[in-house]
Amino acid sequence: MFRTILVHADGSKDASARLSFAINLAKDFDATLLGIAAAQPFIPAEIYGAFATGITDPDYIDYDRKRLTADFAKQAQSFREQTEKAGLEATWRAEFAPTSDSLVRAAVAADLVVIGQGREPALPDMQTAVAGEVALRTGRPVLVVPDGLSTAKLGNILVAWKNSGEAQRAIADAIPFMKRANRVTIVSVQSDKAEGDGGAADALGFLVRHGIAAKSEVIDAKGGNPGTVILDHARSTKADIIVSGAYGHSRWREWAFGGVTRELLLNAQVPCLFSH
């Protein structure tokens, strides 16, 4: 059961929809909502030849800290107004720290982390939450919500199955969602029929013993990217949530060569629950 839900309530254009999504989810589970905003003040840099050196400019850092303080105050006000209107028990926190780091630390107080889809920057960014990094580093399930989505639907759940530690963790973490669903499907994408179901029958038995009436399917990859196959199947079956293990391979390998996690993070049109 989800007793506390942590939501990244920043000042981005999609934050309002994400907060509405988290509020609806918290109401469904009768959970406390913990809102967080975090960012590290910018430090300007001067470039000398081929080398970039951080220049600690007290005036600039103080200006950016004041800007962030004002932003945090607006975000806190919006969070409190919306949660009070919804009748939720809620708490708020904000801090000057790299955004992803703060979310990872705060996750210890929650059963579930709700974060925006966003985009992974090519260079480190201390004022942006990177969904893949948070999913990789925290010990909590992370629900990545597509930009602009404000309504939480729980009726039809698709499990992107591979018999890995990450997927085993994800299917267990998703049980509170599955108990509210009317359809749960474990989908294995195989490139060779000789591979069998990849342990899907055992996963199905695990869910049945938790009182969840699930079914399993094996889909032929037909030489395609498994992540794309999963997304196509999610669209055709009108899945509301995709459940997946996060980063069975190195995150940087997936960033460079592609992989299921990266494909889902970039292109999923429904929320994705990740566990690592």
Please write the tens of the pLDDT for every residue from 38-77: 998 876 554 334 444 444 556 666 878 899 999 999 999 9
**Residue 200, exposed/middle/buried by CB under 10 A (0-12, 13-18, 19+)?**
buried
> What is the pLDDT at residue 260?
86
Q: pLDDT per residue over 145-171, tens digit each?
A: 999 999 999 999 999 998 999 999 999
The set of residues, in sequence order, having a beta carbon less than 8 Å from that of 224 and lying 6+ positions away, is: none
Measured from the Cβ of residue 48, the count of other Cβ atoms closer than 10 Å reads: 7
Which residues have a Cβ under 8 Å from the Cβ of 115 and sit 6 or more positions away? 7, 8, 18, 103, 129, 131, 134, 142, 143, 144, 145
- Domains in the chain, please, with CATH? 4-41+73-145 (3.40.50.620), 156-275 (3.40.50.620)
pLDDT (tens digit, 9 = 90+) per residue, 105-121?
Answer: 999 999 999 999 876 66
Does the pLDDT at position 82 exceed 80? yes
- The tokens describing 221, both together, are 């990859």
Q: Is the pLDDT of residue 256 over 50?
A: no
What confidence tens digit (pLDDT) does each residue in 222-253 have?
878 889 999 999 999 999 999 999 875 555 44
> How far is the C-alpha of 58 from the C-alpha of 209, rounded, in Å?
60
In the chain, count H helices and then E strands. Answer: 10, 12
> What local confidence, expressed as pLDDT, does residue 124 receive?
57
Which residue, 162, 126, 173, 127, is CA-closest to 272?
Answer: 173
Average pLDDT score over the chain = 87
